[in-house]
Chain A
Amino acid sequence: MRLLKLVPDDTNIKFLKWRVPFYVVSLALMAASWALVFTQGLNYGVDFAGGQEIRATFTQQAEAPIPQLRDTVASLENVGDPVIQRFGAPNEVSIRVKLPPEAEGDPAFADAMTRTITTALQAEYADIRIDGVDSVSGKVSGEFREMAIYALLAAMLAIAIYIWVRFEWQFGVGALFALVHDVSLTLGMFALFQMEFSLQIIAAILAIIGYSLNDTIVVYDRIRENLKKYRKMPLPELLDLSVNETLARTVMTSLTLLLALLPLLLFGPASLFGLTAAITLGIFVGTYSSIYMAAPILIWLGVDSHSFVPEESVADRQDKVARGEM
Chain B
Amino acid sequence: MLEFPRWKKIWLWAITLLAVAAALPSLLSMTSVRWPEALPDPMVNLGLDLAGGSHILLEADPAQVADQRLENMEESVRAVMRQASPRIRIGDVSTSGKQLSFMVDSAADVDRARELLLPLVNGTGLTREWDLRVVDQTRFALSPTASGVESAVTQAMDSATEVVRKRIDSLGTREPTIIRQGDTRIVVQVPGLQDPEQLKSLLGQTAKLEFKLVDQNALPADVEQGIAPPGSQIFPYAAGTPFEGTSVAVRRLGGIKGDQLTNAQQSFDPQTNEANVTIQFDQQGGAKFAKLTSENVNKPFAIILDGKVLSAPNINEPIRGGSASISGSFTTDTANQLAISLRSGALPVDLAVVEERTVGPDLGADSIRKGLLAMGVGSLLVIALMIFTYGRFGIYATAALVLNVLMLLGIMAVLNTTLTLPGIAGFVLTIGAAVDANVLINERIREERKRGRRVVAAVENGYKEASRAIYDANVTNFIAGVLLFIFGSGPIRGFAVVLIIGLFTSVFTAVTLTRMWVAGWLRRARPQDLHV
A118 to B197, CA, bound (A): 9
When the two chains form their complex, are residues A132 and B450 in contact, meaning their CB atoms are under 8 A apart?
no
Interface hits, A97-145 → B, CB 8 Å: 107-108, 110-111, 114-115, 118, 129-137, 139-140, 144
Interface hits, A248-288 → B, CB 8 Å: 248-249, 252-253, 255-264, 266-269, 271-272, 275-276, 279
Distance of A245 from chain B, by nearest CB (Å): 7
Interface hits, B447-469 → A, CB 8 Å: 447, 450, 465, 468-469
When the two chains form their complex, are residues A221 and B468 in contact, meaning their CB atoms are under 8 A apart?
yes
| In-complex Cβ contact of B354 among A57, A107, A207, A279 (8 A) | A107
When the two chains form their complex, are residues A135 and B472 in contact, meaning their CB atoms are under 8 A apart?
no
Of the 9-residue stretches A66-74, A197-205, A318-326, which lies at the interface with chain B?
A197-205
Also in contact, A111 and B378, with CB within 8 A (given A4-B389, A275-B425): no
Also in contact, A207 and B480, with CB within 8 A (given A140-B355, A260-B431): yes
Also in contact, A206 and B374, with CB within 8 A (given A218-B469, A260-B429): no
When the two chains form their complex, are residues B374 and A131 in contact, meaning their CB atoms are under 8 A apart?
no
Distance of A264 from chain B, by nearest CB (Å): 4
Interface size on B, residues (CB 8 A): 78
Also in contact, A203 and B450, with CB within 8 A (given A214-B433, A218-B473, A272-B424): no
Also in contact, A271 and B367, with CB within 8 A (given A111-B353, A255-B385): yes
Chain B residues positioned under 8 Å from A249 (CB to CB) = 439-440, 443
Of the 9-residue stretches A18-26, A155-163, A303-311, which lies at the interface with chain B?
A155-163
Bitwise interface map of B from 417 to 446 toward A, beta carbon under 8 Å scored 1, else 0: 000011011001101110110011001001
Bitwise interface map of B from 377 to 391 toward A, beta carbon under 8 Å scored 1, else 0: 111011001101111
A272 to B200, CA, bound (A): 27
When the two chains form their complex, are residues A6 and B389 in contact, meaning their CB atoms are under 8 A apart?
yes
Chain A residues positioned under 8 Å from B429 (CB to CB) = 207, 257, 260-261, 279
When the two chains form their complex, are residues B381 and A137 in contact, meaning their CB atoms are under 8 A apart?
no
Q: Does A314 contact B (CB under 8 A)?
A: no
Q: Does A150 contact B (CB under 8 A)?
A: yes
Distance of A11 from chain B, by nearest CB (Å): 12
Chain B residues positioned under 8 Å from A5 (CB to CB) = 389
| Prevailing SS type, chain B contact patch | helix
Chain B residues positioned under 8 Å from A132 (CB to CB) = 357-360, 363
When the two chains form their complex, are residues B480 and A133 in contact, meaning their CB atoms are under 8 A apart?
no
| In-complex Cβ contact of A166 among B204, B431, B472 (8 A) | B472
Q: Does B271 contact A (CB under 8 A)?
A: no
Interface hits, B107-161 → A, CB 8 Å: none
A4 to B496, CA, bound (A): 34
When the two chains form their complex, are residues A133 and B358 in contact, meaning their CB atoms are under 8 A apart?
yes
Q: Which residue of B lies closest to A132 (CB)?
A: B359
Also in contact, A131 and B360, with CB within 8 A (given A259-B381, A260-B428): yes
9 residue pairs bridging A and B, Cβ less than 8 Å apart: A3-B391, A55-B363, A133-B358, A147-B488, A151-B484, A203-B495, A256-B386, A258-B432, A260-B432
A contact set with B: CB distance below 8 Å: 1, 3-6, 9-10, 55, 57, 107-108, 110-111, 114-115, 118, 129-137, 139-140, 144, 147-148, 150-151, 154-155, 158-159, 162-163, 166, 199-200, 202-203, 206-207, 209-211, 213-214, 217-218, 221-222, 225, 245-246, 248-249, 252-253, 255-264, 266-269, 271-272, 275-276, 279
Task: Give 9 closest A-B pairs by Cβ, nearest first.
Answer: A260-B432, A151-B487, A257-B432, A263-B377, A108-B352, A111-B353, A210-B477, A259-B381, A269-B367
